[in-house]
């Protein structure tokens, strides 16, 4: 969704400025999204290592257009986390080991999405009900009181996802998984990874 919008923006630039070469990226290339976003003044990197914006919190996507066009740069903003440690204190696996440092081997998002082996038994009863990703560090962040649900229709969840109960996920078949999550980031974990996560949580 975001990449399509960036491509539309590039088309708009070409129509209104002239021929400008560029490419859009949304977590799809070795581009330092957060670092560039911070340097461009979109926010600061919180203790949980996510980008925080004073007006929108951290519940947003970032992407970039890399252009062969000279632009006047904005300036970085300052850090506004202060002495708050809510994200560190709330992480059930202790993944945020210190300010701006996350141990991926303990992060529920990493474990449920990127990690391909059997989940370590040491995390039993520590992952709450997170079967794909985790937002605890964002949920407790005071800056997210300024976040608001998107009005973008393309992000509307499939009704079957919203209506399914815990028992339904335990019985899900590969065919149903592929159908329900065909347009969702959940497909990244694949059926095997998703059912592994579900089975781990129900033990």
pLDDT in tens, 140-179: 999 999 999 999 998 888 888 888 777 788 889 999 999 9
Pick from 51, 21, 58: which is nearest to 139 by CA? Answer: 58
Determine the Cα–Cα distance for residues 26 and 129; give it in Å rounded to an integer. Answer: 28
Mean per-residue pLDDT of the chain:
92
Residue 84 has pLDDT above 80, yes or no: yes
The model's pLDDT over 109-150, given as tens digits with 9 standing for 90+, comes to 999 999 999 999 999 999 988 999 999 999 999 999 999 999
- Which listed residue (4, 27, 139, 168) is catalytic? 27
The model's pLDDT over 60-73, given as tens digits with 9 standing for 90+, comes to 999 999 999 888 98
Q: Is 27 a catalytic residue?
A: yes
Q: Alpha carbon of 133 to those of 32, 112, 128: distances in Å? A: 21, 6, 11
Determine the Cα–Cα distance for residues 56 and 45; give it in Å rounded to an integer. Answer: 14
Confidence of residue 202 (pLDDT cuts 50, 70, 90): confident
| Predicted structure pTM score | 0.88
């Amino acid at each position: 969704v975001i990449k399509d919008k960036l491509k539309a923006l590039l088309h708009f630039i070409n129509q209104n400025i002239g021929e400008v070469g560029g490419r859009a990226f949304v977590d799809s290339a070795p581009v330092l999204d957060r670092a560039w976003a911070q340097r461009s003044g979109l926010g600061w990197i919180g203790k949980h290592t996510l980008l925080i914006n004073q007006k929108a919190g951290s519940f947003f996507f970032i992407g970039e257009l890399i252009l062969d066009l000279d632009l006047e740069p904005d300036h970085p903003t300052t850090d506004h986390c202060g002495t708050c440690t809510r994200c560190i204190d709330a992480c059930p696996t202790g993944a945020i080991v210190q300010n701006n440092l996350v141990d991926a081997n303990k992060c529920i998002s990493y474990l449920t999405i990127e990690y391909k082996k059997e989940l370590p038994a040491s995390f039993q009863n520590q992952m709450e009900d997170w079967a794909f990703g985790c937002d605890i560090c964002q949920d407790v962040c005071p800056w997210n009181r300024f976040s608001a649900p998107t009005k973008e229709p393309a992000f509307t969840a499939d009704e079957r996802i919203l209506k399914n109960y815990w028992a339904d996920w335990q019985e899900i078949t590969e065919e149903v998984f592929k159908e329900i999550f065909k347009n969702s980031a959940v497909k990244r974990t694949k059926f095997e990874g998703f059912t592994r996560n579900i089975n781990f949580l129900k033990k």
